[in-house]
Every structure is written in structure tokens, then in C-alpha cells.
Chains A and B, each alone.
Chain A
Amino acid sequence: MFGAHGGNHRDLWLPGLVGLSGALLSLAGWGLLVAERHDQILQTTNAAATEMEQAIELGLAEQAEALQGLAGYWRQFGLQPEDEWKASVDQQVDQLDGLRFVAWVGLDDVPDRVTAGMDRSADGIRIDAQEARRHADQPALVGPLRDAEGEVAYRYYLPVRTSGGHVGALVAEVELKPFLDAMLRARGRGYAISLSWDDQQIFARDTPSQDPWQRWWRVEGTVRLPFEQYWRIVQHPTPEYAAARLTPVPHYLLAAGLLLSLALAVLTHQLRLTVRQSRFLAASNRALEQRGDELESRVAERTEALEDAIGELEAFNYSVSHDLRSPLGAILNFAAILEEDYRARPLDAEGLRILARIRRSAMRATALLEDLLQLSRAGRAALSMERVDMAALARESFAQVRAAEDEADDAVEFLVDPLPDAVGDRALLGALLANLLSNALKYSRGREKRRIRVTGRMEHGECIYEVEDNGHGFDMRFANKLFGLFERLHGAEEIEGTGVGLAMVARIVKRHGGRVWAHGRPGQGARFGFALPAPDDDPTHAGATRGDDMYGETP
């Protein structure tokens, strides 16, 4: 969904981490459990092996001891008569498992005596005698011997010198399997055992487990035989035994752990996605709400502006109809008077005066319409902002206004101080200055030493300009009416004017984001001022003024 596609790889690290940690934990737990099981198996196998070794060693020691005992008996009492000898030997043969035979092999002229099972052939005797002679000084255990059936056996050679002076050896042969079977009958269940003698395997019981852990569980040991011989014994658990010990529980746990980790990882991922989505939705909601508020406030603003505009328009309509009606009414009235009074006689001086009034009223109506047209333009035309040299513009405007004056004969002193540059619409600012200067001219007419002065300064981020005259002035009580449309402080006879000029000044300044004011006292001149926002491009230059440095920068 929203933005979840873009950062797929980045987004997977946390779920990956969760899944991986879970898997590692599961593996570790599994490893511990398995290792513990295996240790157990190894330990029991070890213990069983030790027991087995000891048992076999003990069995062999007993065997050897019994045979030594027999040999010792012979040594002490000499060779008994044949039947007596046989009886005592048979007793031994019955008692010792796997004992095939016991024989006396004479090494001198004493004849051999052999129990049942002995190869009585001359060869057999001879070979045994030869072998016995080799061990005449030391008792020995010889093996492994394999017979024709592949059965493994071993022989004892125990040299004997009798009290009667005869020299011989006790030779006993033991078959390994019956001996070990008897030995292992009650022992080592669950273990595969193999014995080797001089690197030849001589015995194996059960098959070892095929489990790959087999090598780990292998226990190797040594069985000490009498007379410096030994067997190697290797033991493994049998498959059944291993299977019984190695329960699959750890594997189940591992699988469950891995599944759980995967589930956790997926859950984490989903959770992150959900959280991100809800965050995104919350942000979107906030943005929407904000936008809604913005729109609402904008609608309110516009509505207010529109209401203002409508109110202004209504006032304007009213003023226009009122102010246009009076000159037109005058024209109609005086035309009617002319008609009535001069129906039957030529125009005299009074008649001519009436005509002049008609003309004046018509001119007033025309001037009013012209001014209204200008005002409308000042309100509507798009501003083309530029840097304007206000001092030069003031001089230009003054020249224009002066040229348009009807009675431009008497001298006017016109002063322009250094003025800060303004940023604004040159044409509108020109119209503004022209209106103020024209007012100043009008209201100072008839005064002695007419003087008009334009001053300017920078103050609190504003460019301030003022037009001063020493004319009739006005009463400050009426200052608030000055800038309204068609508001006039003087009767139409005193000062000509349509009541539009200052309204236009106010409108132009308002469109530039500035403000206007007026100061005056009756008979003592007036000062009209306006402030425009200072150009903010160059703070060092913004304070500078043009022309000679009369005021310079505001300290």
C-alpha cells in the first residue's frame, strides 16, 4: 500500500533480525538438548564398556587361575595315573566355559596325556609339543587360533616341572565364543561389541547404530589378558538403544522454534507495516485537516474581502448617484429657469450668469466622471512594481499639475527634499503625488507666499513622504473624513474639486500596502503624508536618500 513498496529491503531488517534471533535461539536450545542426550549416551556407553572390560578381564583371570591351579597340582603331586588324571581334568573342563581340552604335553620321555577333544594325531601332539617347548620357561597365552569352521580359540601354555622330575606343559584350549557368551550373557545389553586381537577381529556382537553420531559414541578400550596379552574392545550403542535414548523431542522443539521465529518475523513485518500505515494515515489526516482549516479561513477571508468590496461598491454607487445628481439637477433647474424667465425677452446679465452656472454644472459632472474613471483604474490596474526615484517623480508631477492649472500666474515656491527611493507602480505613484500636489496648490490659492514642500525619510522599515502647504488647512476634527469618497471639508464654491482625489490617494497607497494620514489647522496649512513599505533588497542602500544629503540616513 502507501509507500510500502519503495523501501522493501530497508524494511525487512527488523523482521529479519527477529526471525534470525529466534532461529538462533531455537538452534542453540536444540543443540544443548541434543548434546546433553549424546553426552548421556556416551557416558552410559563408557560405563558399560568399563564394566565389560573388567568382567572379561576377571573371567580370563579366573580361567587362568583355575588352569594354574591344575598345573600347580601336577607340580606338587606329579602325574597321577591316567584315569585319575582324566577325572580331575574333566572336572575343570566342565567348570570352565568354552574349554575344549586340557593336555599334558611331555617335554621329556614322559608320555603325553590328553583329554577329550585334543587332536591326538602324532602331528598335533608334536606341534603342540614344539609350541610347548617354546614356552617352557614362561607361561603364555597364544591366539587367535581359527579352526576349519572359523571358530576362534586360544591356548594356554603353562610349563610344569613335577616333583618326580618330569618336565612338561599344561596346554589348554578355550573357544572364545562360548566363553564370551557366558561372560556377556547378562551384560552389555544395548551395545554392539567387537573385540580384536593383534588387529584381527575375534568377536562381534550386534551391529552398531548407523546413526551419524556413531563415531562420537564409539568407546574403545583394552582388555588385559594374563601373560602380557591384550585385546582391543570397541563398543557402540545398538540402533535400538540409540533410538530409545535419542528421542525426537529436541527436533520437534527445533521445528516449533523455527516456525515460531518465522511467525514472529512475519508478525513484526506486518506490525511495522500497520504502524507505518497508521502513521501515514494520521499524517494525511492532519494534512487534510490543516488544509481544511486553511480553506475555511481563506473562504472567510475572501468572504470578508468580498463583503468589504460590496459595501464599498454600494457606498460608491450611492455617492456617485448623489454627487452626479446635484450638478445634473442644477443643469435642469437652471435650464427651466432660463426657459421661464427669458421666454419673451433677450438674455440680460442675469440670464448669462444662469447660463454660466449651467455650463459650470455640466463641467463639474464631466470632471466627476473623469475622476471616477481614474479612481476605478487605480483600483483595478495590475501593479507593475519598480524602483522609483520619488524626488524626480514629485518634480514631474508638480510640473504637470501646474501646467493644468487655470490661473497659474502667481508664484509658488516648490521645494523637494532628498527622498528615499520607493518600490511601486510609477504611474500610480505619479497620480498619487499629482493629487496631493494639486490639492496643495488648490488650498493655498489666494495665500501670500504660497509654499509647497515635499519631504521624506526612512523610519521603522517604511519610506515616509509628506506634502506640506501653507494653505487654508483644515480642522483636525474632520481629518477622518478626508480620505472618503466625495467627502469635502469645503463648500464647492470655496475650493473646486470633486471629492475623489484623496479617495484615490488612499486607494493607491492601500494597494501598495502603505498608509495615509493628514495634519492641519484651519488657516495654518496642511500636511498630507503616506508611508510605503521600504524596499528590502539592500539594507545599506535602503536608508540612503537621493539628492543632496540634507537629512541623510536616519540615525
Chain B
Amino acid sequence: MSEPAILLVEDDRDEVNVALRALSRAGMDVPVAVACDGLEALEALGLESDITPAASSTPRVVFLDLKMPRVDGWEVLRRMRQNPATADVPVVVLSSSDRREDIERCYALGANSFVLKRFDPRGPGSYIVDAARYWLELNRTPQEAS
């Protein structure tokens, strides 16, 4: 499997489908890895335990849901930022919560962006397309610099 550009962490299968559909319809033909909850996300990132070294292949951006069974998004974010291998990977939090505390907490833990999940009149999942385009095409990280 080729190196995923996006790691989508989302427990709602419907949301995943909508996101994948939106990306493909927008012509963003990038590899997407899907984790159904925080635990799977940590596995995908090689962070199941603190001593496991990070996997060599890290995604270019992580789309992270907050409310998930077993391990929630905050925990994933905290673990990512603790590990040097994933500390610089951009994390876009996708949440249906627009509570100030939740947003502040995400940024405090090191989130790069906070996107509110909602019905987008431009089309289902348009916000994911926007976020993917920004982080994959417009934004430049030091690792990607030539």
C-alpha cells in the first residue's frame, strides 16, 4: 500500500463514505487510510504503546474526529504530539461540537485546525475537500520542502 496522504479517523461509517465520495468527486485522487476509532488511529500511526517507534510512513495530514468509542480524538492528539515522529504531522480536528472549551482544548493539545462538521449546502463533505486541498496542496511543511 502506498504511503497514505490522509489518515481519516472517524467512527461513523456514513461520515467516512460521505468524505471519501466528496474527495473523489472533487478529483482529489489521493490515498486515504481510514481508522474507525482512536485505537485504530494509534495503531495506524504506530503509537499503540509509548515505546513503539513511529512507523516510517506517516500521513501528510490527519483528519481527526473527537467523540469516538474506546480512545477519543483528544487522546490520539495528545499521543501524536508527545511522539517526535508524529509531533509535526498536521492534525485537522473534525467535530460537530463548537463548544469553546473543546476548540481551545484541541489547540492547546497542538491541533493545527478545527473544522466544524455540518451539513454543507455546496455538497456533502465539502468542508473535507476544502481542508484536504489546503493541507495537501497549499500548505507547505519543512519535511516537504525540496
Contacts and interface: CB of A to CB of B under 8 A. Distances in A.
B45 to A, nearest CB: 19
A330 B15 CA distance: 7
Contacts of A340: 123
Interface residues of B, number: 21
B70 A475 contact: yes
A489 B97 CA distance: 20
A331 to B, nearest CB: 9
B140 interface: no
Nearest to B125: A333
A336 B124 contact: yes
Contact of A329 (B69, B97, B118): B118
Contact of B99 (A318, A488, A489, A491): A318
Nearest to A474: B70
A553 interface: no
Contact of B69 (A333, A361, A489): A489
A357 interface: yes
A293 B12 CA distance: 53
Contact of A491 (B21, B36, B124): B36
A332 interface: yes
B26 interface: no
B25 to A, nearest CB: 9
In this complex, the interface size class of chain A, counting residues with CB under 8 Å from chain B, is 20 to 34
A493 interface: yes
A322 B96 contact: yes
Interface string A482-499: 000011111111000000
A493 B68 CA distance: 13
B13 A337 contact: no
B67 interface: yes
B88 interface: no
A492 B119 contact: no
Interface in A520-543: none
B14 interface: yes
Interface in B112-139: 117-119, 123-125
A490 B15 contact: no
A326 B13 contact: no
B119 A332 contact: yes
Interface in B1-47: 11-15, 18, 21, 36-37
Interface string B59-79: 000000001011000000000
A336 B126 CA distance: 12
A325 B65 CA distance: 14
Main secondary structure of the interface of A (DSSP, over half): helix
A252 interface: no
A332 B122 CA distance: 12
A336 B96 contact: no
Interface in A399-444: none
A48 B118 CA distance: 138
Contacts of B67: 322, 486
A491 B119 contact: no
Contacts of A336: 119, 123-124
B14 A333 contact: yes
A334 interface: yes
A487 B72 CA distance: 10
Contacts of B21: 337
Contact of B11 (A334, A357, A487, A491): A491
Interface string A299-339: 00000000000000000001001100110011011101100
A487 B18 contact: no
Contacts of A325: 96, 117-118
Contacts of B99: 318
Contacts of A493: 13
A490 B69 contact: yes
B125 to A, nearest CB: 7
Nearest to A490: B69
A491 B14 contact: no
A478 interface: yes
B12 A492 contact: yes
A361 B70 contact: no
A492 B13 contact: yes
Given A330-B14, A333-B18, A487 B69 contact: yes
Residue among A322, A361, A478, A490 with max Cβ neighbours from chain B (10 Å): A322
Contact of B119 (A322, A333, A357, A488): A333
B37 A491 contact: yes
B69 A491 contact: yes
Given A333-B119, A333-B124, A326 B69 contact: no
Nearest to B97: A322
A334 B17 CA distance: 10
A2 B143 CA distance: 89
Contacts of A488: 69
27 contacts: A318-B97, A321-B96, A322-B96, A322-B97, A325-B96, A325-B118, A326-B12, A329-B15, A329-B119, A332-B119, A332-B124, A333-B18, A333-B119, A334-B14, A334-B18, A334-B124, A336-B123, A340-B123, A478-B69, A486-B67, A487-B69, A491-B11, A491-B36, A491-B69, A492-B12, A492-B13, A493-B13
Interface of A: 318, 321-322, 325-326, 329-330, 332-334, 336-337, 340, 357, 361, 475, 478, 486-493
Given A329-B118, A330-B15, A337-B18, 4 more contacts: A318-B99, A322-B67, A326-B12, A357-B14
Which 4 pairs between the two chains have the least Cβ-Cβ distance? Answer: A333-B124, A332-B119, A330-B14, A325-B96
